[in-house]
Structure 1
Amino acid sequence: LEYLPPYSPDLNPIEQAFSVIKAHLRRQGLGFYHSKSSYFELYQACKIVTPEMTWGFFFHSGYNVAF
């Protein structure tokens, strides 16, 4: 068990995935809170997060991940 600060995005891999998804939506001109964005566009944005990227998010957060 390891103590983590209350809000530590650098130690939370999902924050990095959210960042990638939001950046993709912004590049498409859909911003995360834009009224034009639909569930399908959000789904498409989520599909760009690959297993390799996920491994990198965990590694960058300091977790030891082995395949």
Structure 2
Amino acid sequence: MRIMYLPPYSPDFNLAFSSIKAYVRRAGELAREDVDQARDDTYVYIHLMEAAYSVTSDDAEGYFHHCGYL
């Protein structure tokens, strides 16, 4: 696992992170069951990747527009 430290407040990442958190909340119970029964961190990574990939390219483009980059 690679840890990437971000600035204290980064509007570039907060919008996408908000979408990822919403995905985790929606799938929370299923994810908790999988993680609790797992013997290693594989399911944690799987659920995090699913959450990250739930942000579509259209969503990302909208975030960049919102931040004033496009």
Normalised to the residue count of structure 1, the TM-score between the two structures is: 0.64
Deviations 1:10-36 (A, max 9, x none): xx2211001100110011125xxx7x3
Q: Describe how 1:22-37 pairs up with structure 2 within 5 A.
A: 22-29=21-28, 36=35
Question: How many residues get paired?
Answer: 53
Superposed CA RMSD in Å reads: 2.1
Q: Which runs of 5+ in 1 are unaligned?
A: 1-5
What is the percentage of aligned positions where both structures have the same residue?
A: 38
Normalised to the residue count of structure 2, the TM-score between the two structures is: 0.61
Q: Describe how 1:45-56 pairs up with structure 2 within 5 A.
A: 45-56=51-62
Higher relative contact order (CA 8 A, sep 6+): 2
Measure how far apart 1:61 and its partner are.
Answer: 1.0
Q: Which runs of 5+ in 2 are unaligned?
A: 1-6, 36-42
Give the number of the structure whose residues are more often helix, by fraction. 2
Partners in 2 of 1:7 and 1:62 — Cα distance?
A: 19
